[in-house]
């Protein structure tokens, strides 16, 4: 083992010639063959008009759908063609989802909603509450752990959803219009939270309509008519990017 | 390159597969039911009614049948009477039982004792404890002719002395067994000095006093003499007082013995005799249960089917309602089978709880009716214990299709709603 050269860690996401066609009739080409690499610790925003293929991209990266062409690797693992058993395992352990509609279970407290993510990741029951509280602490909601979603504001609900996505320490946080249901002030707060998570080492892929949210990302990607285009990211403030410069943008 | 790729694949092997532990499955299913307690209760109602009706019907029929069984005497169940029917059709003195009747029937399997008896055709024989010449007061008592076997078969219990036996029968001895009532009337209190009774002037030695005869009530009143002696002195039975044979059988043998006895006694002409056996308890029970059960069990079955359809329907609606939750669970790492298992567990739990409540109500109904009629409640505990599981199975079957639907929902489709 020691004789082999040390390889750099694989990127969190590597898409190679990935394309998606909705089976018709008539067949619709939603994504044209595209390549994308997202490295550990990056904060990437994907923008684009409705129907451009943003959701399709999210479904493919989130392993909720399979590409019709190309190879998807997550943490170096070819997941595009893997059996459902393995894809479910990757979703449970390596991907955290944040949705526009929050998708909190209405009859469960904030902590119980966070703990739902630990059921399928098979964390021992006695360790769940502690981990859930830690995740709620990360999003600044430890004091609302016993509140039902109906008693929480929109911004608080989305933070609970983020805590749920973070609780299993995923390699990637996948956010689908995370601020779509929030007002401007709350959107700004949530953008701050996402940014701070990124600084703490979380890899973020944010799909958004909101230019203000997209502007917080280091890399901005636009999709239109199923085609990806890399927009120059805002300059990363010195000292914040640290070791990530080593393997910068793909 | 190949090694590098192989190594990468190795390192990239997915972490442990996602799981749904039995305990988590249970608590998730329970949480699903408790989210909408009102709906859950209403969904259970069909199963509650079906299982409740089922248990109540089984309980009430068993209890009612039990009452029949209780009144059904063991004495009757082990007794066969063979009647000399030919004798009723003639005015001539007739005895169609052959001389060795007791021995013939004793050989049939299941017979404990058997014997022939009849009432000696004297309207009220004059019986006295002293010869009439010496002025004894005669009283009228029935005189019964019986073989020793008949005394055995009747289950006569002695207060004193012995029963006459084959020896007396074979020699037509003038001996008598008298009932306690007759003994009192005749002033005979003990057998120490070999008392005698005089029947129509004939002296008989009293060998025994009967305390109680459970099967032949006639013997509790009169004087019993050996059959051969009666024939010798007074001739064959006549005047419509035909001879009968009493057979004491083992429990359960009465039917078979009744079928065989006439043939064993008169192989030349079995029709001269007719054997009457008690109604078989099994047959009696069957006739009661079938008439009651079929209709009501059919109704309970319909209620169960309705219950199953109710569970299936509600679960299917819940699947559609909770599509987003299903999508979320899939995104959190649930496999299709985990989703299916959860909805199956929910419908099974609905059926199980419905069965549990239904069984309780069924038992309660049985008890209330039983107490009202002052009966003894009878209910097979296996029925009560099985009922909740029957409910669970119904829930499981009802949940199959909704669970399949739930497990095949595409998460990508339902999460965007």
Q: How many CB pairs below 8 Å do chains A and B form together?
A: 114
Interval A160-167 mean pLDDT: 94
B133 in A contact zone (CB under 8 Å) = no
Encode burial over A214-245: b for 16+ CB neighbours within 10 A, e otherwise.
bebbbbbbbbeebebeeeebeeeeeeebeebe
Q: Is B261 exposed, middle or buried (0-12, 13-18, 19+ CB in 10 A)?
A: buried
Q: Which tokens is A203 given?
A: 């890899």
The answer to whether residue A245 is domain-embedded is no
Nearest to A119 among B3, B28, B335 (CB): B28
Report the C-alpha gap between A96 and A118 in whole angstroms: 11
User: How many Cβ atoms are within 10 Å of B207's Cβ, its own excluded?
Assistant: 20
Q: State which of B249, B271, B297 marks the end of a domain.
A: B249
The answer to whether residue A250 is domain-embedded is no
Q: What is the mean pLDDT of chain A?
A: 86
Q: Residue B155 region, left (φ>0) first, then alpha (ψ -120 to 50), else beta?
A: left
CB contact under 8 A, A121 and B11: no
Nearest to B338 among A86, A103, A120 (CB): A120
The answer to whether residue B267 is domain-embedded is no
Residues B84 and B150 in one domain: yes
Short-list A233, A16, A103, CA closest to B329: A103
- Per-residue model confidence (pLDDT) at position A245: 41
* Three-state DSSP state, A6: coil
The answer to whether residue B93 is domain-embedded is yes
- Per-residue model confidence (pLDDT) at position B139: 79
* Three-state DSSP state, A119: helix
| A25-53 pLDDT tens trace | 888 888 899 999 999 999 999 998 888 88
Report the C-alpha gap between B76 and B67 in whole angstroms: 16
Residues B35 and B115 in one domain: no
Least Cα separation, residue A239 to chain B (angstroms): 31
The answer to whether residue B311 is domain-embedded is yes
The answer to whether residue A97 is domain-embedded is yes
Which chain A residues have a beta carbon less than 8 Å from that of B336? 84
Residues B207 and B177 in one domain: yes
Structural contact between residues A40 and A203, judged by C-beta atoms closer than 8 angstroms? yes
Q: Which CATH number goes with the domain that contains A149? A: 3.40.50.300
CB contact under 8 A, A91 and B415: no
Nearest to B20 among A75, A99, A120 (CB): A120
Residues B87 and B51 in one domain: no
- Per-residue model confidence (pLDDT) at position B373: 82
Whole domain around residue A100: which residue ranges?
Answer: 13-235
Q: Is the pTM of this model over 0.90?
A: no
- Per-residue model confidence (pLDDT) at position A206: 94
Q: Which ipTM was obtained for this model?
A: 0.88
CB contact under 8 A, A88 and B327: no
Residues in chain B with pLDDT values less than 70 = 1-15, 68-76, 123-125, 132-137, 279-293, 417
pLDDT at A249 exceeding the cut of 60: no
What's the domain count of chain B?
2
Own/partner long-range contacts of A124-127 (Cβ < 8 Å, ≥24 apart):
A125/B23, A125/B24
pLDDT at A66 exceeding the cut of 60: yes
User: How many residues appear in chain A?
Assistant: 250
The answer to whether residue A247 is domain-embedded is no
Residues B306 and B376 in one domain: yes
The answer to whether residue B254 is domain-embedded is no
Whole domain around residue B202: which residue ranges?
Answer: 79-249
The answer to whether residue A1 is domain-embedded is no
Which chain A residues have a beta carbon less than 8 Å from that of B328? 97, 99, 103, 105, 116
- Per-residue model confidence (pLDDT) at position B2: 41
B242 in A contact zone (CB under 8 Å) = no
Report the C-alpha gap between B36 and B255 in whole angstroms: 61
Residues B128 and B215 in one domain: yes
CB under 8 Å to B227, separation ≥6 — which residues?
Answer: B116, B117, B145, B146, B147, B150, B169
Least Cα separation, residue B412 to chain A (angstroms): 5
The answer to whether residue B1 is domain-embedded is no
Least Cα separation, residue B30 to chain A (angstroms): 12
pLDDT at A244 exceeding the cut of 90: no
The answer to whether residue A3 is domain-embedded is no
Cβ-based interface (< 8 Å): residues of A facing B? 4, 7, 10, 55, 59, 62, 64-65, 73, 75-78, 82, 84-86, 88-95, 97, 99, 101, 103, 105, 107-108, 116-117, 119-122, 125, 164, 176
| A218-232 pLDDT tens trace | 999 999 888 888 886
Residues B44 and B93 in one domain: no
Residues B155 and B288 in one domain: no
How would DSSP label each residue in A156-201? HHHHHHHHHHHTT--SEEEEESTTTTS-HHHHHHHHHHHHHHHHTT
pLDDT at A73 exceeding the cut of 90: yes
- Per-residue model confidence (pLDDT) at position B6: 39
The answer to whether residue A129 is domain-embedded is yes
| B110-165 pLDDT tens trace | 899 999 998 887 766 677 777 765 555 677 888 889 999 988 888 888 888 888 88
- Per-residue model confidence (pLDDT) at position B202: 84
Residues B196 and B326 in one domain: no
Three-state DSSP string of chain B: CHHHHHHHHHHCCCCCCCCCCHHHHHHHHHHHHHHCHHHHHHHHHHHHHHHHHHHHHHHHHHHHHHHHHHHCCHHHHCEEEEEEHHHHCCCCCCCCCCCCHHHHHHCCCCEEEEEEEEECCCCCEEEECCCHHHCCCCEEECEEEECHHHHHHHCCEEEEECCCCHHHHHCCCCEEEEEHHHHHHHCCCCCCCCCEEEECCEEEEEEEEEEECCCCHHHHCCEEEEHHHHHHHHCCCCCCCCCEEEEEECCCCHHHHHHHHHHHHCCCCHHHEEEECCCCHHHHHHHHHHHHHHHHHHHHHHHHHHHHHHHHHHHHHHHHHCHHHHHHHHHCCCCHHHHHHHHHHHHHHHHHHHHHHHHHHHHHHHHHHHHHCCCCCCCCHHHHHHHHHHHHHHHHHHHHHHHHHHHHCCHHHHHCC
What's the domain count of chain A?
1
Q: State which of B249, B271, B305 marks the end of a domain.
A: B249
The answer to whether residue A189 is domain-embedded is yes
Residues B232 and B325 in one domain: no
- Per-residue model confidence (pLDDT) at position B39: 87
B 320-339 → A contacts, CB under 8 A: 324-325, 327-336, 338
Report the C-alpha gap between A173 and A96 in whole angstroms: 5
Rounded percentage of chain A residues whose pLDDT exceeds 70? 90
């Amino acid at each position: 083992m020691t004789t082999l050269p040390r390889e750099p860690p694989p990127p969190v996401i590597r898409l190679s010639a990935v394309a998606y066609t909705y089976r018709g009739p008539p067949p619709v080409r939603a994504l044209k063959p595209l390549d994308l690499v997202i490295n550990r610790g990056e904060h990437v925003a994907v923008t684009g008009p409705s129907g451009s293929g943003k959701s399709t991209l999210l479904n493919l990266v989130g392993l909720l759908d399979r590409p019709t062409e190309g190879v998807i690797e997550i943490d170096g693992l070819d997941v595009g063609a893997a059996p459902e058993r393995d894809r479910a395992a990757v979703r449970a352990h390596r991907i955290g989802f944040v949705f526009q509609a929050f998708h909190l279970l209405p009859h469960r407290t904030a902590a119980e909603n966070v703990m739902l993510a630990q059921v399928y990741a098979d964390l021992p029951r006695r360790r769940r509450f502690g981990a859930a509280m830690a995740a709620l602490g990360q999003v600044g909601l430890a004091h609302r752990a016993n509140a039902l979603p109906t008693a929480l504001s929109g911004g608080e609900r989305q933070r609970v959803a983020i805590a749920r996505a973070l609780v299993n320490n995923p390699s990637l946080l996948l956010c689908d219009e995370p601020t779509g249901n929030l007002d401007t002030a709350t959107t700004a707060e949530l953008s701050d939270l996402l940014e701070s998570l990124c600084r703490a080492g979380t890899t973020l892929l944010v799909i958004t309509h909101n230019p203000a949210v997209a502007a917080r990302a280091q890399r901005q990607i636009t999709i239109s008519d199923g085609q990806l285009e890399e927009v120059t990211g805002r300059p990363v403030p010195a000292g914040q990017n640290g070791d990530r410069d080593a393997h910068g943008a793909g | 390159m190949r090694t590098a790729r192989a190594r990468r694949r190795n390192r990239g092997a997915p972490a442990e597969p996602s799981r749904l532990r039995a305990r988590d499955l249970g608590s998730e299913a329970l949480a699903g039911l408790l989210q909408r307690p009102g709906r859950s209760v209403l969904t259970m109602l069909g199963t509650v009614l079906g299982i409740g009706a089922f248990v109540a019907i089984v309980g009430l029929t068993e209890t009612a049948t039990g009452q029949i069984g209780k009144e059904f005497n063991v004495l009757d169940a082990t007794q066969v009477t063979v009647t000399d029917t030919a004798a009723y059709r003639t005015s001539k003195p007739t005895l169609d039982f052959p001389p060795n009747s007791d021995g013939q029937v004793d050989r049939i399997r299941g017979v404990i004792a058997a014997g022939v008896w009849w009432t000696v055709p004297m309207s009220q024989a004059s019986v006295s404890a002293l010869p009439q010449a010496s002025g004894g007061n005669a009283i009228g008592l029935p005189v019964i002719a019986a073989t020793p076997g008949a005394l055995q078969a009747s289950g006569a219990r002695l207060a004193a002395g012995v029963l006459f036996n084959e020896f007396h029968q074979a020699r037509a001895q003038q001996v008598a067994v008298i009932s306690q009532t007759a003994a009192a009337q005749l002033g005979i209190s003990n057998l120490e000095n070999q008392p005698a009774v005089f029947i129509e002037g004939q002296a008989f030695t009293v060998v025994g006093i009967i305390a109680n005869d459970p099967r032949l009530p006639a013997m509790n009143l009169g004087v019993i003499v050996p059959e051969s002696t009666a024939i010798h002195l007074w001739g064959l039975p006549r005047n419509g007082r035909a001879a009968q044979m009493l057979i004491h059988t083992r429990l359960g043998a009465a039917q078979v013995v009744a079928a065989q006895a006439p043939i064993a006694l008169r192989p030349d002409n079995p029709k001269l005799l007719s054997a009457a056996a008690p109604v078989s308890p099994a047959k009696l029970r069957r006739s009661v249960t079938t008439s009651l059960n079929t209709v009501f069990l059919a109704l309970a079955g319909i209620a169960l089917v309705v219950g199953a359809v109710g569970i299936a329907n509600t679960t299917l609606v819940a699947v559609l309602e909770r599509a987003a939750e299903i999508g979320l669970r899939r995104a959190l790492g649930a496999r299709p089978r985990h989703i299916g298992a959860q909805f199956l567990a929910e419908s099974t739990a609905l059926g199980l709880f419905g069965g549990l409540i239904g069984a309780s109500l069924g038992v309660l109904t049985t008890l209330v009716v039983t107490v009202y009629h002052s009966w003894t409640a009878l209910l097979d505990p296996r029925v009560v214990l099985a009922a909740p599981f029957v409910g669970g199975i119904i829930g499981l079957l009802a949940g199959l299709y909704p669970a399949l639907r739930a497990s095949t929902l595409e998460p990508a489709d339902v999460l965007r709603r």
